[in-house]
């Protein structure tokens, strides 16, 4: 075999390995066989003193209400894990992940997602990858009046979330809504809101079987907002007012887990 052929074979081997690994990870997390393994990696998003302080003070307990939310919601679909997730806070990272392309062309987005996966792998200090571990990079920013945070994202391939959050205790409950939303993206959930931020009916509404005009107290997590009394989208105060709707449950594999559970009886 000449060198060129060998190199092609090697590349194909690496590619097959990556595809196989991605499949294995999805099989693991979407099977709901045990608590989700989540690593949280804080990053100072704007170099501010507020972000430095938020990172210094952060601890595993800060994410408790995400665990409570997940445990409560997956139980409604027949998956009973207490706890439903285990969070490990890793040391602060001094580098930021590669930013997504501004124009969302398919090729550019694909290349960027590969770049991001490579970047995440390099951050792991060359340890063997831990299959099934969800990696959430939290970029902290000092709150600024009228300035919105960059768009957060969660990628199913590679189980990676890049989440922009506020370095502000008063925003902790809302930060956790955003983190939970991106976490469910890594498990395969899709967005359920329209371009203007309105939840999409019926799948983006809590209790989708009710008519669209019926008042809701809760938000579907992948819509991120409930519809207020005046018909405007409202961010719920915290995860206690968020639910996983049936379509999201289906997308993140809860239906399969549900069927398996009852088939085994």
Residues 176-205 that bind Zn ion (CB under 5 A): 191
Of 191 and 240, CB closest to Zn ion = 191
- How many other CB atoms sit within 10 Å of the CB of residue 164? 21
DSSP assignment letter at 192: -
Of 55 and 177, CB closest to Zn ion = 177
Minimal distance in Å, beta carbon 191 to Zn ion?
4
| Residue nearest Zn ion by beta-carbon distance | 191
- CA–CA gap between residue 27 and residue 219 (Å, rounded): 28
- CA–CA gap between residue 173 and residue 66 (Å, rounded): 9
- CA–CA gap between residue 30 and residue 187 (Å, rounded): 6
Minimal distance in Å, beta carbon 138 to Zn ion?
16
Of 191 and 232, CB closest to Zn ion = 191
How many amino acids of this chain bind Zn ion (CB under 5 A)?
1
Degrees, nearest 5: CA angle 81-85-89: 160
Minimal distance in Å, beta carbon 261 to Zn ion?
28
Burial of 117: CB neighbours in 10 Å, binned 0-12, 13-18, 19+: middle
For residue 44, give the H/E element and its range. Answer: strand 36-44
Q: In the beta sheet, which residues pair with residue 133?
A: 37
- CA–CA gap between residue 255 and residue 88 (Å, rounded): 28
Question: What does residue 164 show for φ and ψ, rounded to 5 degrees?
Answer: -90, 125
Minimal distance in Å, beta carbon 222 to Zn ion?
7
Minimal distance in Å, beta carbon 241 to Zn ion?
18
Of 144 and 191, CB closest to Zn ion = 191
Minimal distance in Å, beta carbon 214 to Zn ion?
25
Of 44 and 156, CB closest to Zn ion = 156
Burial of 102: CB neighbours in 10 Å, binned 0-12, 13-18, 19+: exposed
Of 65 and 220, CB closest to Zn ion = 220
Residues in touch with Zn ion (CB under 5 A): 191
């Amino acid at each position: 075999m000449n060198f060129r052929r060998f190199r092609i074979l090697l590349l194909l081997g690496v590619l097959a390995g990556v595809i196989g690994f991605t499949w294995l990870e999805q099989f693991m997390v979407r099977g709901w066989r045990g608590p989700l393994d989540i690593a949280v990696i804080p990053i100072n998003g704007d170099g501010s003193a507020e972000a430095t302080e938020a990172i210094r003070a952060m601890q595993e307990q800060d994410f408790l209400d995400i665990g409570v939310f997940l445990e409560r919601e997956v139980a409604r679909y027949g998956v009973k894990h207490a706890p439903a997730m285990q969070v490990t806070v890793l040391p602060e990272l001094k580098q930021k992940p590669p930013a997504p392309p501004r124009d969302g062309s398919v090729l550019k987005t694909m290349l960027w997602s590969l770049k991001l996966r490579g970047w995440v792998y390099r951050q792991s200090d060359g340890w063997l990858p831990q299959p099934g571990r969800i990696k959430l990079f939290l970029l902290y920013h000092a709150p600024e009046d009228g300035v919105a945070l960059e768009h957060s994202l969660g990628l199913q391939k590679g189980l990676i979330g890049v989440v922009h959050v506020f370095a502000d205790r008063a925003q902790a409950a809302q930060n956790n809504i955003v983190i939970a939303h991106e976490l469910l993206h890594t498990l395969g959930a899709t967005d359920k809101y329209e371009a203007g931020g309105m939840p999409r009916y019926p799948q983006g509404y809590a209790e989708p079987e009710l008519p669209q005009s019926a008042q809701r107290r809760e938000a579907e997590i992948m819509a991120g907002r409930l519809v207020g009394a005046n018909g405007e989208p409202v961010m719920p105060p915290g995860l206690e007012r968020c639910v996983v709707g049936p379509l999201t449950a289906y997308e993140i594999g809860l239906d399969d887990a549900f069927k398996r559970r009852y088939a085994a009886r």
